[in-house]
């Protein structure tokens, strides 16, 4: 593949991704990294991932409403992981005071890889479900046009016509709009809670634009803004800088470093106590932890949430990879021994989001040897390593040479739900995301500088 292909594709992606020139002033901007060509994905497993998403939405929502389950599932983790522990204490305080808002908004993304063993068949295995700041719904809405154009220019017209339409940004915004509508105040804003320096701003902007189309006002605020200018009135309505907030859309707050001071923790508590709809609320945040994912894989747990729906249980469980506890006791001891005996067959996962946190290979041995006799090991879970089949592609990113690489892909599916009291108002699958990285990297997403945006070419 000649170098000019890369230059041509950069032109297409810049024109497709950045349509709003006024936003580029005073910004340091680069194009979103992407694959030169779309990646083949088996149609059957792709459709399986879409079909199960609404069940995952329901599962997350049910977990968030079950405080006894959350307390039991997270008991060992919150004892040793300070970050999860602090989140859980906010959850407990909200339960004690009583929830101020009956409207619940969920914007989730369930991530999978295709496990391909010796029989050559691919099976869909979940890596994790993201209940907090599930990203790239905006940029992935534009990648189909990029790859369609590239394939046309390459003379592959038939393949260009097989690139699927995909618009997660519109679906995510539709759910936010419904929550804003149910809140019932046209003057109240949707507040995007964002980082001080935001590398992924354009991804978020697409959702804002969709809200603007619906004449829904939005504001971008930081934790510092909420600390300095946030308050609750006597009805627990949230005001930031004098404006009432109908929906708090958290795009920041999922990592310990997002809370550099006690004031930021106080701001999180104030938002959770408020009448504003939170996305996610604290219970849904906890429902997305790795420990909850591991507990759900235990026999009989899914049946607790879907007692009369064995087909739903079967659909969800079919996507589970092997997940193992590291709690103190015989079962956890067995997990430690299993991981130390064959570390290349597993992934060690801490209770962290954002990519680049997982532990692989010989590093698993180093970590577990240090904590195997300590309760500190309960801050992790162990998961079977998924073995996808590599494909060849070119990864286009700034300041990187254009070359053919062996690549691995990860499929994400976006789901949204809105509940008011006991009534589910919306529960939809709204799009997909494909990310691809070189097979030499074990972990890391687009934001971590490892993976790039891609499109599935169904086969």
| Binding site residue list | 109, 128, 130, 204, 290, 349-358, 360, 383-386, 410, 435, 437, 443
Contact 451, 458 (CB under 8 A): no
Please check whether residue 194 is in contact with residue 204, taking contact to mean a CB–CB distance below 8 angstroms. Answer: yes
* DSSP per residue, 51-71: HHHHHHHHHHHHHHT-HHHHH
Annotated active-site positions, please? Answer: 109, 128, 130, 135, 290, 349, 353-354, 435
* Contact predicate 414/171, CB 8 Å: yes
Ramachandran class of 430: left when φ > 0, alpha when ψ lies in -120 to 50, beta otherwise: alpha
Question: How many Å apart are CA 360 and CA 212, to the nearest integer?
Answer: 43
Q: What share of the chain is helix, strand, coil (3-state, %, to 5)?
A: 40, 25, 35
How far is residue 59's CA from residue 56's CA, in Å, rounded to a whole number?
5
Angle at 289 between CA 131 and CA 453, to 5 degrees: 50
- Please work out, in degrees rounded to the nearest 5, the angle formed at the alpha carbon of residue 431 by the alpha carbons of 204 and 438: 80
Binding residues for ATP: 128, 290, 349-358, 360, 383-386, 410, 437, 443
Tell me whether residue 365 is exposed, middle or buried, using C-beta atoms within 10 angstroms of its C-beta: 0 to 12, 13 to 18, 19 or more.
Answer: middle
Cis link prior to 343 (omega < 30° from 0)? no
Lookup: tokens for 5: 């292909």
Residues contacting residue 114 through CB under 8 Å, at least 6 positions apart: 41, 42, 45, 122, 123, 124, 125, 386, 388, 389, 409, 411
Provide Rg for the chain, Cα atoms: 22
State the helix-helix crossing angle for 143-153 and 3-17, rounded to 10 degrees: 150
Annotated binding residues for substrate, written as ranges, equal: 109, 204, 435
Distances (CA, A) of 38 to 61, 274, 326, 362: 34, 44, 39, 33
């Amino acid at each position: 593949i000649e170098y000019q292909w890369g230059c041509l594709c950069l032109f297409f992606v810049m024109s497709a991704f950045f349509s709003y020139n006024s936003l580029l002033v005073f910004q340091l901007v680069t194009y979103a990294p992407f694959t030169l060509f779309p990646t083949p994905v088996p149609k059957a497993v792709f459709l399986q991932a879409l079909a199960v998403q609404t069940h995952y939405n329901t599962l997350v929502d049910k977990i968030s409403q079950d405080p006894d389950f959350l307390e039991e599932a997270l008991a060992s983790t919150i004892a040793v992981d300070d970050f999860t522990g602090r989140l859980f204490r906010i959850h407990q305080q909200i339960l004690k005071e009583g929830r101020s808002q009956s409207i619940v908004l969920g914007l989730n993304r369930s991530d999978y890889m295709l496990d391909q063993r010796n029989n050559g068949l691919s099976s869909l295995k979940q890596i994790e479900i993201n209940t907090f700041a599930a990203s790239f719904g905006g940029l992935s809405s534009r990648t189909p046009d990029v790859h369609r154009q590239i394939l046309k220019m390459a003379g592959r017209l038939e393949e260009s016509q097989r690139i699927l339409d995909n618009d997660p940004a519109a679906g995510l915004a539709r759910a936010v709009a419904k929550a804003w509508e149910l809140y019932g105040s046209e003057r109240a804003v949707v507040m995007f809670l964002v980082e001080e320096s935001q590398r992924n701003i354009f991804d978020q902007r697409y959702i804002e634009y969709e809200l603007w189309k619906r004449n829904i006002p939005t504001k971008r605020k930081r934790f510092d803004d909420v600390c300095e200018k946030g308050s609750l009135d006597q009805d627990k309505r949230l005001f930031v800088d004098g404006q009432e907030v109908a929906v708090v859309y958290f795009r920041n707050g999922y990592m310990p470093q997002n809370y550099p001071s006690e004031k930021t923790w106080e701001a999180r508590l104030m938002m959770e106590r408020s009448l504003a709809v939170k996305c996610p609320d604290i219970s849904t945040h906890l429902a997305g932890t790795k420990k909850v994912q591991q507990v759900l894989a235990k026999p009989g747990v899914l049946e607790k949430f879907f007692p009369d729906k064995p087909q739903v249980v079967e659909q969800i469980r079919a996507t589970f990879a092997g997940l193992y506890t590291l709690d103190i006791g015989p079962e956890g001891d067995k997990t430690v021994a299993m991981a130390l005996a064959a570390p290349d067959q597993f992934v060690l996962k801490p209770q962290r989001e954002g990519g680049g946190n997982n532990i692989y290979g010989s590093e698993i041995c180093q970590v577990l040897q240090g904590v195997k006799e300590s309760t500190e090991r309960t801050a992790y879970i162990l998961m079977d390593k998924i073995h996808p089949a590599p494909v060849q592609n070119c990864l286009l990113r700034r300041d990187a040479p254009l070359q053919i690489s062996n690549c691995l892909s990860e499929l994400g599916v976006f789901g949204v739900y809105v509940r008011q009291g006991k009534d589910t108002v919306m529960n939809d699958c709204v799009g997909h995301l494909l990310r691809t990285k070189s097979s030499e990297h074990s972990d890391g997403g687009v934001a971590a500088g490892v993976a790039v945006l891609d499109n599935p070419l169904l086969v």
